[in-house]
Structure 1
């Protein structure tokens, strides 16, 4: 994995995200969605945080947060910030 800057979850709302999909292929996107659903369950049932790796217009970032919702196009983090699903590269449990 590339070098990523870790940011506090409170600053996610200040970021700018690219308009393109960062993962190539349907299989990788399906795996990402499956990982996000698992992270959602861990967050809601066990209050467990996960680490998200995602692209911004300024480069790769990571954030440790609890996922509260997985919507059609976004994930909602504890505290109300959202990240577009299309920019999420990986989820670490």
Structure 2
């Protein structure tokens, strides 16, 4: 397993992402959706940051601590108008 690289949220714009989901289990995908909703509430009501772990196109693992501002059908909108594809997200805490 590759080490997790700590990343500044601004660096997300330079990362290439896969079009396939990093989670294969449908239950894990549903749990990720619930975690995204929780992160959205924390970001909008309490301005609390969450730690997001995700993978790029080459299956390198990254982690970023940021505020979730919105969720679209395909992406998470982070503070600073940065977008992270939902399919790339391994976990949020």
TM-score normalised by length of structure 2: 0.93
Q: Does 1:12 align with 2:12?
A: yes
SS class of match (1:89): strand
Look up the match of 2:48. 48
Aligned residues: 92
CA change 1:2–1:36 in 2 (3 A) is farther
CA RMSD in angstroms, aligned pairs only: 1.3
Moved over 2 A (4+): none
Following the alignment from structure 2 to structure 1, what is the Cα–Cα distance between the partners of residues 91 and 83? 16
TM-score normalised by length of structure 1: 0.93
Alignment of 1:21-60 (within 5 A): 21-58=21-58, 59-60=60-61
Query: For structure 1, which runs of at least 5 residues remain unmatched after alignment?
Result: none
Q: Does 1:77 align with 2:49?
A: no
Query: For structure 2, which runs of at least 5 residues remain unmatched after alignment?
Result: none
